[in-house]
Chains A and B, each alone.
Chain A
Amino acid sequence: MLHATDRLTKTSRWVVRAARITNGVFLAAVLLGLLLSWIVPVQFAALLIQQPAKVDVRSACAGLRWLLVLGAAMAIAAEVLLAALAEMVASAAAGDPFVAVNARNLQTIGWALLALQVLDIPGALIAKFFPSLGSAAPDVTFSPAGWIAVLMVFVLSRVFATGSAMKDDLEGTV
């Protein structure tokens, strides 16, 4: 049982680390794309849209810029989430997960998840106002599971806060 838990925390550590690296690379690529879209707009448009263009190139480029901004915002929210998760996994690996800081970490995860859910709205707006993006437009569908997950994480954060306070009390008990 203990070995299974050790394996789980070890695997989780690697998964979270890999996810953070991937997310970091994604964020860097998105920021680079955003930067290039301003520095070399003509080449940027030519790179993305084949000539002769059947779509409104200016609108597509503007839509793409918003899409990149959205991507950057999502990557930042994901990094906040993963950083908190990494801290929680590390404390679980150290054998002491019921600490007040993990209640705050769960709360941070809750806010990051909420941000990711809310970012669906600008995603849907981009798809609506920039039809020239075509298949590149984000396919936003309402997912109740995501909102329930947000709620669940906030509730778990309260449970953790109470649990860690109880553990503190127990530690002073002889």
Chain B
Amino acid sequence: MPISIRLDELLERRRMSLTELSGAVDITLANLSILKTGKARAIRFSTLEAICKALGCQPGDILVFADGQGD
């Protein structure tokens, strides 16, 4: 999929673990892991909003469209 998730980089920059983010956004670690590894098929606005709020970023910082990559 040409859309990739930059959750890893954002977490690293903020020195935050996925478990900590999970607690902050009230989304299970399993679901966040699915999102982080790019296995998610869709993302809810509410999830995006919660992550943006917790990491102090914009949706565009999390989702990146890179045409010509992957399938």
Contacts and interface: CB of A to CB of B under 8 A. Distances in A.
**Residue of A169, A172, A174 ringed by the most chain B CB atoms within 10 A:** A174
A169 B44 CA distance: 12
Interface in A127-174: 169, 172-174
Nearest to A169: B41
Contacts, number: 22
A10 B16 CA distance: 47
Contacts of B40: 172-174
A66 B44 CA distance: 62
Given A173-B40, A174-B31, 13 more contacts: A169-B42, A172-B34, A172-B40, A172-B41, A172-B42, A173-B41, A173-B42, A173-B43, A174-B32, A174-B35, A174-B40, A174-B42, A174-B44
Interface in A35-73: none
Contacts of B19: none
